Amino acid sequence: MIEVAAGLILDEAGRLLACRRPQGKHLGGKWEFPGGKVEHRESPAAALVRELEEELGVTVETGRALTPVVWDYGRGPIRLHPFVCRIVDGELHPHEHEEIRWCLKDELGQLDWAAADVPILAEWLEQA
């Protein structure tokens, strides 16, 4: 099982950051919460901080953890560990994504989300 951390990044206005995977890559064109693989002996929260620095050029503070999601896209199972977080330093730059977008709650359902992110989004919307 591959452990993966994902960040639900909120801005001051309560908008959520959505990131679109590049065309030509696995799940290309799908929207996701940014993050990445948890390294050996690394906590999911620490992995998320590291990955978001690499992928988006920002430092985040992790907050509430949401329910982990186990999913298999046909390449073996992953366990996605989602955290609500906020940017504390840096300027957003999409190093790994085709597009990034701040979304209001009612805009989130218009995006074509990666399947593993759908239950995370649903849980966040229920609690938001």
> Residue 127, class by beta-carbon neighbours within 10 Å (0-12 exposed, 13-18 middle, 19+ buried)?
exposed
Q: Is the pTM for the entire model greater than 0.75? A: yes
If one counts every other C-beta atom within 10 angstroms of the C-beta of residue 65, the result is 13
The whole-number pLDDT of residue 25 equals: 86
The full set of domain ranges for the chain reads: 2-127
State how far the alpha carbon of 69 is from the alpha carbons of 38, 83, 98, in Å: 14, 12, 24
Q: How far apart are CA 72 and CA 81, in angstroms?
A: 14
The whole-number pLDDT of residue 28 equals: 87
The whole-number pLDDT of residue 60 equals: 97
Architecture of domain 2-127: Alpha-Beta Complex (3.90)
Residues of the chain with pLDDT under 70: none
